[in-house]
Structure 1
Amino acid sequence: MRREIKSEVAIFLLAVQFLTRLPLPADVGYTPERLTAAVRYYPAVGCLVGAIAASVFWIALQVFPPLLALLLSTATTIFLTGAFHEDGLADTFDGVGGGTTRDAALEIMKDSRLGTYGAVALGLVLAMKIAALSALPTASVAAVLVVAHCLSRLSSIAVIATSRYQRAEGTGKPTANGIGGIGLAVACATGAVALAAASIWIPALALLCGLGGLLAGHLAIRLVFERKLGGYSGDTLGATQQVSELAFYLGLAMWL
């Protein structure tokens, strides 16, 4: 039993290490199998990132106006993740917008330079996230941040579970084998717990609107990249997370 617990802790730490820049020991028990299994803890890492963002927002709110507190909170999430998901969003739109074929799109997405499509998409998504959050009641923003970061990463897992990886290598390689039933159950359970906790501060109907928005965002971004690529890559998982997070905020803003 102790060995199983130790292994699960290592798997969780690998998920944190993979998705964030939080300081951890270099060796947290890496094996290729554990890194693949770490996918199930992506929503839990989202909760962690969201909780830190919510803390920064609440602290900043004590001395700054809400809009500035939101900007500081958003900047914190970008710093925490090393702009990991934002980079995927920009690369996805550069590739899909500039590539005339699947191979051309994937090649563009490997280029570290930022193109016009990516810059516009990144700027619009960040601006709309701030605008949508600023439209919500200040008292609910902290809870919204936690659940949104959790569910948006669960949205990326839905892509992994239902689509095909399109590269021989890359940042999404640990997800190439998909996610098993147990891993999917753990990820979904994490999302359900986050939703239940958020319902203490956010009305149930508002959460339903947020979930509706997230589902619409999930389907919309998949239409953008799957028709061109025939599947997903690490970059498109980042794009899915970003668009799903934004769409959740937009859904909430329609109600609150």
Structure 2
Amino acid sequence: MIKGLIAALQFLTRIPINIPVDFNSKNLSKSTFFFPYVGMLIGLISGAVGLFMNFIGGSEVGAAFVVLSLVIVTGGLHIDGLSDTSDGFFSARKKDRILEIMKDSRTGTFGVIAVVMDLLLKFVIISRLNSSIFLPAVVLASGNARLTVVMLMSYTKNARPGGMGSMFSDGKPKKYFCFGLITYLAVLVFAFSYKFLLPLAAAFTASGLITLKAYKTIGGLTGDVYGANIEICEIVSLLAFMVVQSWI
């Protein structure tokens, strides 16, 4: 499993880990177990930076540095997927043309709008989080989003065989998702609070809606849709924390 952990860290983050690991289907499948925990690490690093900057310059400065840190630590990997998915899905074209647009390295109008709204929404929501829930919200929003994407890899159809998304889904990671879900729920309840299940439920709901949209539009999911799912589910989780923070 150690190769799976290293693969997850190398794929999801830009943390320098100079240990060679083959990105074959076996290692990628194992890596999915660690996705939510790597997500929590990403959130912890970004949240810690935000807390420090919050102390120096206030809530808005802290929120801005959380958003910036999320981009730096992940290398903007998922934001790129959100941009490509938005360009394709909102192009009002047929399936084959949408997939071509999503594969195009150039960014269109809808892609730019999606990225701007993604960063802006995260900034606004994080800046309104209470200090008592600030770090748990950032940590768990990142973890929740990456747990949902493992569900998609495990149970949905891939729309573009041979792409990056199919490399994960073809590895049949269902058992790793099930085991990861159980352990993640245990960590969530016992290390945090059972009330934090609400943002997780909101993230799963959002992920389900994204899946329905993807099936209707391109007949399945791709690696870009996985990235878009992570970004959207982070926002939904953070929004859920903001809404219920008064009684969590």
Report the counterpart of residue 218 of structure 2 in structure 1: 229
Quick check: 1:219 aligned with 2:208?
Answer: yes
1:96 corresponds, among 65, 71, 89, to 89
Identify the residue that residue 69 of structure 1 maps to in structure 2: 62
Question: Which aligned pairs between 1:97-176 and structure 2 lie closer than 5 A?
Answer: 97-98=90-91, 100-176=93-169
| CA drift at 1:62 | 2.4
Q: What is the rounded CA distance, in whole Å, between the counterparts of 2:192 and 2:145 in structure 1?
A: 14
Deviation for aligned residue 1:36: 2.9
Moved more, 126-135 or 144-153: 126-135
Q: Secondary structure at the match of 2:164?
A: coil
Q: Which amino acid aligns with 2:233?
A: S
- Check whether the contact 2:85–2:224 (CA below 8 A) recurs between aligned residues: yes
> CA contact under 8 A between 2:62 and 2:127: conserved in structure 1?
no
Classify 1:251/1:169 alpha carbon distance in 2 versus 1 (closer, same or farther; 3 Å).
Answer: same
Distance in 1 of aligned mates of 2:19 and 2:12: 14
Distance 2:149 2:143 in 1: 10
**Where does residue 54 of structure 1 map in the other structure?**
47
Q: 1:51/1:231 Cα in 2 relative to 1: closer, same or farther (>3 Å)? A: same
Provide the C-alpha distance between the structure 2 equivalents of 1:31 and 1:209, rounded to a whole number of angstroms. 35
Query: How far is the alpha carbon of 1:190 from its aligned partner?
Result: 4.1
What are the superposed Cα offsets for residues 106-135 of structure 1, whole Å, 9 maximum, x if unpaired?
110111111111111221122112212222
**Aligned residues of 1:92 and 1:225 also touching (Cα < 8 A):** no
Q: 1:190 to 1:90 in 2, by over 3 A?
A: farther
- Structure 1 residues 215 and 28, CA gap change in structure 2 (3 angstroms): closer
Gaps in structure 2 of 5+ consecutive residues: none
For structure 1, the 5+ residue unaligned runs are: 1-7
Query: After alignment, is 66-75 or 220-229 more displaced?
Result: 220-229
Paired residue for 1:210? 199
The alpha-carbon deviation at position 11 of structure 1 amounts to: 1.2
Q: Residue by residue, what CA displacement relative to the aligned partner does 1:169-192 show, whole Å, maximum 9, x if unpaired?
A: 232232131534431123213421
Q: Distance in 2 between matches of 1:140 and 1:127?
A: 20
Aligned partners of 2:153 and 2:173 also within 8 Å = no
Q: What does the per-residue CA deviation read over 1:12-45, in whole Å, with 9 as the maximum and x for residues that have no partner? A: 0011111111101151465442123212211111
RMSD: 1.9
